[in-house]
Each structure stands twice: as C-alpha cells, then as structure tokens.
Structure 1
Amino acid sequence: MVSSAFAVLSLVSAAAAEFHVVRHVSHTPRALEPAVIPPAEFVVPITSTAPRRQSKKTNLASLRKKLSPTGNTAVLEGADLDQEYLTDVTIGGQTFTAIVDTGSSDTWLIKKNFRCFNLTGFPEDTETCGFGSEGFDTAASPTFKNFPNVSFNISYGDGEFLSGPVGFDTVSVGGLAVTQQEIGTPDFAAWNGDGVNSGLIGLAYASLTSVFNTTDPTKASRANHIPYDPFFFTAVKRGAVKNPFFSLALNRGPLLVNVTEDKNLGFLAFGGMPPVALDDKTAVTVPVQGYSATDGNPTSAPDPNAVFFYYTADVEGYTFPGSTKLNTKNNNTILDSGTTLNYLPSAVAEAYNAQFVPKATFDEESGLYFVDCKAKVPPFSVKLGGKSFPIDARDQILLGGTDDDGKPICISGTQSGGEDTPENVFILGDVFLHNVVSTFDIKANEMTVTRRKKY
C-alpha cells in the first residue's frame, strides 16, 4: 500500500542536463499569432470544488470508440483525488450549483421528484444519489417547454446512468442568458454525487451531446443520436455574446477529499479574458485537433470532414531536468478542467518522477507515483505552438491523505496515462491549467493559451 511506497524513498541527485521529450513523428500544425482577446463580457466566479466523477473516465474512453474502426481504446482511470470546479447556473429562474466541464457538452439538471437507483439498478432513497438539491422543478418554470418523443440518456461503464425528458428553457451563467436552450432533465439516476452539485454545464462540442430520437433509453444509439448546440454554442449563434470564445482561469487551492468552499478558485469567462494577471509575452494560439472520420486519429490539418469532440492540443514536447532524451509518438492530448492531474505517456511520467529529490516511487496497487511531501520539485514545462509553459512547483505535489500512522501522504502532479500508443488519450489537467488562461474559440476551432503571472 501507500506506506510501503514511502518506505523505499531515497535521496538521489538530479542530473544537470536538460531532458527534452519531443514527438518522434511531427505533424505540428501552423502556430498562429496569439489572438487579441479583450476583457470578457460575462464573468462568473468558481466558488467550490468537488470530487471528480468516477464516470468521467468512460467519457474519455468513448472518444476512440465513436470513430475508431476497431473500437479499441485505453481507459484512463484517473485518481480518486481528482477534483471538478463548480459554479452557479440559473435555469427557469431556479439557481443550482453545477460542474464546469470542458470535457463534456450537455447542460443538464436533475429533475425534481427523480427516482434514484444504486449502481446495480435497485431503487434507493434520493439521498443515495448525492445531488445538492431536490432538483429542477420544470412545472414551476414559466419558460420551460418540453421536447416530446426524445430522451436524454447517458450510461457509464461503472453502472452510473442518467435518463429522462428533454426540454428548452432560459439558461443563465454569469449574466450570459440564452433563451430556449436545449437541456436534459433526467428523472432516473444512478449517481455517485458530491452532495453539492445538481447538474453540469458542458462546454465541449455538439458531437458529445446526449439526446436521442426515442423515449426508450435502452434504444439510444448512434443511429438515433440527435446532436444539438451546447449552451455557449447557442449563445454565439444567437449573438448573445460578441466574441465566440470562452476562457477558464482555474486557481490552485487546497485539494481535499470533501467539498471545498472557496471564493477564490478562479473564473469562467464568456467573450474574452477573465480578470487575472497575465504574462502576455508567453501566449500562443493553436488549432483544436479534430478527429478523422476515416481512421479516428486526431488531425490538425484542414479537414472538412473532421469531427470535434474535446479540446485536443498538439503538444510538441515536455522539458525537465535529466540526462536522457525520449521520443513520443502519440499526440492525443486534451485540456480538461474536470481532471486535476496531468496524465502523460508512461515513459515521460517515469522519467520526470525520478527527478524529484527524494525521487517519487510508483505504487503498483494504486497505479500512482507517490512523493515526499517536502521533496524538491524538478522544473517542468509544456511546449505548445513553439512556446514553453512552465508548471509551478506548487502544482506538482498534491496532498493525498494520510497513512496508517496519520502522517500526510502526497502524490505527484504528473502521472502515467499509459503507454504511448495511438489508441490512448492523455490529459493536461488542472496541474497545467492552474498556470495559464485557456481560451477556446468555438468558431475558428482554435485555442489560445496565455501564461499567468505568478500568484
């Protein structure tokens, strides 16, 4: 277990040479001049965090299954300590706390009088599902309209599911209001909730939405999938916001098992930049990678048939102290606000974690690198569009609980995401995102990454 992992920690000296991981086969897209991004029109503070959904891993796994001819994919488990950021959303005049997620697309709220089930399908009290409210009362909303003969349906490999009606209503986030926005209002749920959030604000592409042309959730399939415009995409099409991009500034905070209430966890901004200090000299705009409709591989080349799912970046390399040079082949890397840790190719994670003083150790049972909570952190940077973005040392050691003696246990912020194969999905999570403002242009399918000043 964890204690045995710490027992083998030993002091080592980090080599002085630079260890630069680069891609073996480069299809690096053109680097664009950094976009000029004005201050945002609408800004909402992020005020709390909650444990990452166990089901998030199956969202990522489904990415390859949607397009890959073989359907093969490597499932990224993620750590139990991953966190998700929450903010307030008002729908039909009722306000709820919801997850802010760049890794999914639906806006949904659990419906009042929903039925709760456990992960084996047996009915339970509603408290078992762990939502933060009694649910959205569609009957009390003067603007709600039902969408007949369709259903909202998500099923996950771990047994969680959400299903129920679909409707249209006024959705407001941070003052940005969209009328007649399509939303899910599931009334059947098997859910491992956090006791705070009642739904989700999905910010990714329409291909990941979950509405189907059937009222029977067992018959939901790709054949009757009805993609629709997610909240921010609707706002742009309707002219509710001047500029077609949104930004995230996620502040680092205490990583706790329980929900953390904190009024300074960052901002979700629509139409421009959030009110945080920036280092404008380190900024780059790069294309979002779509996925080829023929082989399912990520592509940055102009492709009118490319399908967009997540905000996938072409990472050119990683730099940190060491003495050897590695090549990486895969570049299926997404920027995900719902994942705390960085999950990189296993060879990269292994080489980097060996540079901590004392070096990190890998625990086979948990699949995580553990590190002395007071270890010396080696520098680490991510290269995008020809520019390097360093990660603050404070993001590379995270509190992971206590051992049997009550002593704190820490994990590395950079973990193994599996072997460097085309089927695998890697993640730049909050460990990276704490150090930048990430801006996503949904019309041009580009993302701008801007380094934040030290805070």
Structure 2
Amino acid sequence: MSSGLLILSTILSSISATLITSSINESPYSIELRSVAGTQTPILGVAPKGCHVKLRRGAHALPKHLALRSVLGLDQDHIGRREEAEPVATVRLTGQSYIADVTVGDQEIPLLVDTGSADLWVAPATFVCLDENHNETSKEACNIPVYFEGTFSGGVAEDQYFSTSYDNGQYVYGEYGYESVTLGGITVPKQQIALASTGHFRAISGDYSGIMGLAFPAMTAARSGGNPQETVDNEEDAASYDPWFTSAVKQNLTEPIFSLALDIDGGGVFALGGAADVPIKGDFVSTPIVTFNLNKEDHSDAELTYYAFMTEDYIIAGKRLSDHSQWNTTDDDDDDDNAPDETSPGQNHHRRHPDIYPVIVDSGYPINILPPSLIKVLYSAFPTPPELVEIQDDGAVLFAAPCDTEVPSFGIQIGGHVFEQSPGDLLIASANVTVNGTAFCALGSQPGIEEAGALGVAFLSSVVAVFDIGASEMRFAQRDGDALGAGIAGGSSDHGNGTVGDGQGSIGGSSTGNMPAPPATSGVANTNAGGRLLPLWGFRF
C-alpha cells in the first residue's frame, strides 16, 4: 500500500461548497449540505478475499440513536404530531439487523454492524442492567448473550466517556479505553472502544452484545469528562476520537473503502478495502458524499457525520415522481378543506424536486424513511390504500398493506441509473400481523419529514453499496437477483411496458404476482394476537 494513502483527517478538514449549500429555513429542521473533496481516485476493485466478513441477520432491529431519529422526524416531536391528529408511523420495526463476530482483545463478540453510528461498544462482565425506572435489575433482563471478560489492556482513556441514547428510552454509558480489535483479518492493536458498564438496554433477540459503528469520527458518542453519565440533560461537551475504521486507514491497514451486500431475508457480506465480491448486474454508478449537519448535532458543520448523498429521482409505477398528479397537487387544491394535512408543523406545502433531498445510507434501519409527499405518491399506487397497523406487541405502528396485494414498481435514480426495489423490499413479509382475518405486511418505505430521508436494508438488500471515503463518493450496483438465493418474499419483478428513457434504466408499472400471506409463526408478532387497524388521521391518498 502506498505511503500516500488517504489520511482521513485531511478529508474531514477539506470541505468545499461547490456542490450544494442548502438551509431549509421554513421547517423546524435546519439541514446544511456541503460537498466534500476527495483526496484520491476511486478504488474500483473488489476487496481481498481475506477481508470479506460474513454477516448473519439478527432477529431484532438495531436501536437508533436520537440524533438520527430527530432529523427524520421519529423523535418525541414526531410522536407529538400523532397526538395532534397527524398520521405518523413509529418505525420501530423488528426484522433486519446484521451481526458480525468481532475479536475484542482475545474474545470473539457478536456485534451489530451499523453505518449510522461510529462507536464500537461492548457490554462488560460487570454490566449493570437498569429497568425503565433507572433501577438496577437482573442482567438476564437485558438479554445480552456474551459479556466482555477483559479490561482495557491498553489502559483507560482519560477525560472522555461514552454516553448514548436510543429510541424507546434506552441508553448506555461507560468508560473508553484501549484494546486490540480484529475484523476481516485486520487488527488495530490499540483501538479506543467503549465498555458500556451501565444502561437500560434490551437485546431482545439475545444475539448481539454491542455495536460496531462504521461512521465518521464526528458521529462518536464521546463526552468530555471523567464521570460517565446518561446522555439526557447532559451538558458536558461533545468530544471525538478515531473509531476503528478510521484508525485502520490511518495505520495503512486497509484502503479507505468498505462495502456492504445485504440480503433482506438473512445474512450478507461486509468487505474491507474494495467492493464485496458478489454477482451484480451492470456497472457501478457513483454519487458524491455530502456533509449532513443537523440542527440538533453537537459537532461542527465542517465535519462529516453520516454517509449521505442526493438522489436524482424516484420512479413509481413506471412514471417519474414529477409526472404524478399527486406530486403536483398541493394541499390547497384538495376539496376537503377540513381534513387534517399530512405535512409536519412548520413545513410549507410546496412540492420540492426530489434531488434536493439528502438521504442517509444506514444499515441500522430495516426500512427506508422518505419524505411524506413522496410516500403519498407511492402509497397511492397501491390498489388499496395502506393502513396504519399496530405490528408489534410493544405498540410499534407502521403503514402496512395486505400481504397478498399487488405492489407497484418503485425505483430510486442514482448516478443516472434507476435501482429497482424487489416486491419483497416493498412489502416485508417477515413483519406481519393478522387483523380481522387479513394478514398485513409492513411497507418497506415509511414517511418521515420533507427535508431528508434514510435508505435502509429495504434498499441495501437490492444493491452492492460501496463507501469510498478516499474518493468521497458512494457507489452502487444492482445485485443479480438470480444469485440472491431463495427466501425473499414476493415474486419476480416484471418490467412490463413502463420505461424511463434517457438511458437511465427501465422500470415497470407493477410487480407480477402477489405477496404470499406469511404463516402465523413467520413474523415478528403473533399474527393472531394484538394486531389492530388504526385511524389514518387524514393522511390522504
């Protein structure tokens, strides 16, 4: 590897405003976007064989930290909008998270792989499990399968501690220290990690013991100080350090690139140093990474946080988004002036072109979170309007449709190419509940806020996603559906006669075949108990 290999710190300081600078002031969410200058040419080869890591699917979704949930409209403000009679999905979908075995010290620990956070944290043998009232309870209640038996062999990190909060009120905190960490044959000998010694945290599926974050240093949950404490009402300054992938790059242990090839119904591949070596159709397309500064972030707007980029268009039922009448119709044109509107408080009713929406690529989200005006058009293409359904026993509410419904085609245009989502990505058979004798499956795309979105496993399962930090770009290629293996819900997509021109790919009007109704034992909830339809609160189709 050449001595001129990327040093990530140069990227973090080389911000350019040449691509786009956008501040959306009419919304309560302030988002600024800037392009980032790459420091080397793209790395186009596949990753070395020894740097491919097999992932297995966890039985429970990754809990998401509050900073990301806030910008996507999934925080308490979002929940409050439901109380004000607006249609809101709670989006705590169980079903897809991806686990890798990571060697910490000399112990193998199962960790969730997450591109939407940066810390590597594990639960130590001394972990104190708290209940929802912050009282100590038995460790069995936290359901963590493997505890780290060691201590920090490289010593404790001074004047910093780890503290993060998740949705549902979960949180963990503890000390930072130094330990060797190995993943994909690459060992960082003295990596800063967190031992989350205390927390209200439920590894519900009991198959992971912490999180392996792959985002940028500005996304770490570090705080300045020597007394670890909960994040809520914490006024201590945010801090930062080099997480595992950053350290591996700086120490010339890998090229500044990794990739994911996830399967929606089980497992996948994480590759370091190049693209995952899996079958694809066609070529890779690229799009620049942009900084994504949120109004609730503590970090500087001159630092990279999430892996974010700008989509170019969305193709629904064979038509571009801007060609759909629902997209071009404002709420002022609606005949029912008394019906509650679907936009969030503070958002105006103007339909913006989709290429101003930044989207975050987040392997920790099982579904896509997209602007409500876009979701409205997508849902309108279903033969029967989707309903808000209580999918899980814990009260999670999602838009869902009958599992045997015909689904419209849906594609996302990136780099001039339309990436189609499979029927199994649009209607997720593993997240189902039976209501009055009808099996409902959760939709793979749910509404968030108008200004931004996230592409989760429902998108990632159909592509190879390459995170090329050195070139400051994301690259995507369509997975070869014939090589994905059996088990993905739904039939094959039929392109039919719906074509999008300009050499930008084709996509049909609807899928052939219906989604099969899942058996009662296949979903995340007991399909014969607890499911109920909820009122739509004026979300108009």
TM-score by length of 1: 0.79
Alignment of 1:341-380 (within 5 A): 341-363=367-389, 368-380=398-410
Partner residue of 2:286? 285
Kindly provide the CA deviation profile for residues 78-103 of structure 1, in whole angstroms up to 9, marking residues without a partner as x: 23335211111001010011000001
Change in 2 beyond 3 A, CA 1:240/1:378: same
Aligned equivalent of 1:409, options 440, 447, 460: 440
Cα separation, 2, equivalents of 1:64 and 1:366: 16
Conserved 8 A contact 2:127-2:196: yes
Note if 1:81 corresponds to 2:94.
Answer: yes
Whether the 8 Å CA contact 1:358–1:376 is kept in 2: the answer is no
CA contact (8 A) 1:44 1:269 kept: yes
Residues 190-238 of structure 1 deviation map (CA, whole Å, 9 limit, x = unaligned): 1021311011110011111122231223497675332011111110100
Aligned residues of 2:52 and 2:269 also touching (Cα < 8 A): yes
The equivalent of 1:227 in structure 2 is 240
AA of the residue aligned to 1:80: L
Spell out, residue by residue over 1:374-413, the C-alpha distance to the aligned partner (whole angstroms, 9 max, x if none).
Answer: 2222111101122211111221111233325675321221
Q: 1:199 aligns with which of 181, 189, 210?
A: 210
Asked if residue 448 in structure 1 is aligned to residue 444 in structure 2, the reply is no
Distance 1:116 1:366, change over 3 A: closer
| Shift in Å, 1:149 | 4.1
* Residue of structure 2 equivalent to 1:432: 459
The answer to whether the 8 Å contact 2:181/2:189 transfers is yes
1:145-177 alpha-carbon deviations (Å, 9 max, x no partner): 322343222234643221112111110112121
2:145 maps to which of 115, 125, 132: 132
Give how far 1:292 is off.
5.3
| Runs of 5+ unmatched residues, structure 1 | 1-22, 66-70, 254-261, 298-303
1:244-393 aligned within 5 A: 244-253=256-265, 265-281=267-283, 283-291=284-292, 306-321=302-317, 323-324=324-325, 325-326=327-328, 327-328=351-352, 331-363=357-389, 368-393=398-423
Q: In structure 1, what is the Cα distance between the partners aligned to 2:179 and 2:229?
A: 26
One-letter amino acid of the structure 1 residue matched with residue 60 of structure 2: P
Cα distance in 1, alignment partners of residues 417 and 291 from structure 2: 22
Q: Is the 8 A contact 2:43 2:274 kept in 1?
A: no
Structure 2 unaligned runs (5+)?
1-21, 25-32, 80-88, 329-350, 485-541
* Distance verdict in 2 for CA 1:377–1:305, change over 3 Å: closer
| Paired residues of 1:50 and 1:86 also in contact (CA < 8 A) | no
For 1:405 and 1:378, the matched residues in 2 are separated by: 25
What is the aligned residue count?
398
Q: Aligned-pair distance for 1:429?
A: 1.1
CA distance in structure 1 between the aligned counterparts of 2:442 and 2:168, rounded to whole angstroms: 25
Q: Secondary structure at the match of 1:383?
A: strand
Higher relative contact order (CA 8 A, sep 6+): 1
What residue number does 1:12 align with?
none
Q: CA–CA distance in 2 between the matches of 1:64 and 1:341?
A: 13
Counterpart of 2:54 in structure 1 is 45
**Amino acid of the structure 1 residue aligned with 2:245:** F
SS in 2 for 1:186: strand
Q: CA deviation at 1:47?
A: 1.6
- In 1, the alpha carbon distance for the partners of 2:292 and 2:409 equals 32
1:203-214 matches, within 5 Å, as: 203-214=214-225
Cα distance, 1:340 vs. partner? 1.2
DSSP-derived class of the 2:158 partner: coil
Worse-matched range after superposition: 104-113 or 218-227: 218-227
- Report SS of the residue matched to 1:443: coil
SS of structure 1 residue aligned to 2:312: strand
Partner Cα distance (2:296, 2:396) in 1: 31
CA displacement at 1:28 relative to structure 2: 11
SS in 1 for 2:59: strand
Query: What is the match of residue 119 of structure 1?
Result: 132
Alpha carbons 1:145, 1:167 under 8 Å: kept: yes
Task: Give yes or no for contact 2:178–2:191 (8 Å, CA) kept in 1.
Answer: yes
Q: Distance in 1 between matches of 2:216 and 2:130?
A: 29
Contact kept in structure 2, 1:353 and 1:412, CA below 8 Å: no
Going from structure 1 to structure 2, the CA distance change for 1:234 and 1:36 (only over 3 Å counts) comes to: closer
2:127–2:198 contact (8 Å) kept in structure 1: yes
RMSD: 3.3
Instruction: Check whether the contact 2:111–2:211 (CA below 8 A) recurs between aligned residues.
Output: yes
Contact 2:35 2:290 in 1 (8 A): no
In 2, the alpha carbon distance for the partners of 1:196 and 1:367 equals: 24
Cα distance in 1, alignment partners of residues 310 and 244 from structure 2: 26
> Partner residue of 1:16?
none
